[in-house]
Each structure stands twice: as C-alpha cells, then as structure tokens.
Amino acid sequence: MIRLQPETADDWWEVEALFDLCFAPGREALSSYRLREGIPPVPGLSLVARDDDAIVVGAIRFWPVRVGGQAALLLGPVAVHPTHQGEGLGGVLIRDGLEAARAGGWTRVMLVGDAPYYGRFGFARLEGVVMPPPTNPDRVLGLELVPGAWRGVRGAVTRWDACDN
C-alpha cells in the first residue's frame, strides 16, 4: 500500500535521488530551477509517496513564486518511480497537492509542462505569463484554485524573494 505524507527535511535526498532517476541529466539547468534555488518548497504542500518498504516511490513539490508581483505556486517537479508508473500515483500526488494548496489559502498554481497531461487536472495555457528563457510559452500552464485568480495577472515569473522588502 502506498502512503502519502508531507515531505520533511529528512526526505530531501531521497526525493532528489528519485528526481535524478526520473529526469534527464542537467534538469537543474532548467529555468524553473533558477526560481527555486535557495528557496525551500512550501511546507505541507510538497508530498512524498512511500511503499510498504518505506521507499520513496513518488514525490511532488510546490514553490512560491511571483507573477507580475502577485503570489503564485510553481508546481514541480512531480515524479513517480518507474516501477510504479502507470498506476495513477502521479495523479494522486497532483490532486492531493492541489487540494492542500487550496486548503492552505493559495489561489493560483502554475507549472511548465505538457498541456495534454496537465489539462486533465484543469491546467490551461497562461497568456501573458513569462517564464525565464528558454521556456516554451506553450508549456506555461496555470490553474485557478479560486475562480478568477489568474484574471489580470500578467508579467514575468520571478523568485519569491525578488519582490520582498
């Protein structure tokens, strides 16, 4: 049986090893990593999935960012160990993570990913939201956790600490 729980500091390296296994080398060179560097994921929203042997078989992280100065969550990465892919675990991580974000008072979430996959969770292309280059604008997707949360929100996606005083 798979158990979901909030990620803790003790899970960090196990989760990183899962991401290394599931993603191409050089993943940390992507523009989204520049937004995350040195900033911890949002506590309570990032989740790990452990199997009966307590091995991390799935993980999702959420990071605070700013879009045109407005608060948003950046979802990602999300990964499932190859031995558990196709079981729906990625969807469970996404749905549970989004529900935790909603319960935590967040209003909007964005990510960089495949519209056909993430569209089934309600994500759609964000017009006027600009990720650091070289991000393909067609892969910049958003979801409103509160109706109208993306209305009028435009501009560059920046680090959470970029607008803090």
* Closest of 132, 32, 126, 104 to residue 75, by C-alpha: 32
CA distance readout (Å), 35 to 32, 71, 83, 122 = 5, 13, 30, 23
**So where are the chain's domains?**
3-162
For residue range 104-138, what is the model confidence (pLDDT) as tens digits? 999 999 999 999 999 999 999 999 999 988 888 99
In terms of Cβ atoms closer than 10 Å to its own Cβ (0-12, 13-18, 19+), residue 33 is middle
CA–CA separation, 126 vs 144, rounded Å? 11
% residues pLDDT > 70 (the chain) = 92
Looking at residue 26, its pLDDT comes to 63
CA dihedral 39, 44, 49, 55 (to 10 degrees): 70
Among 3.30.420.40, 3.40.50.2000, 3.40.630.30, 3.40.50.620, what is the CATH number of 3-162? 3.40.630.30
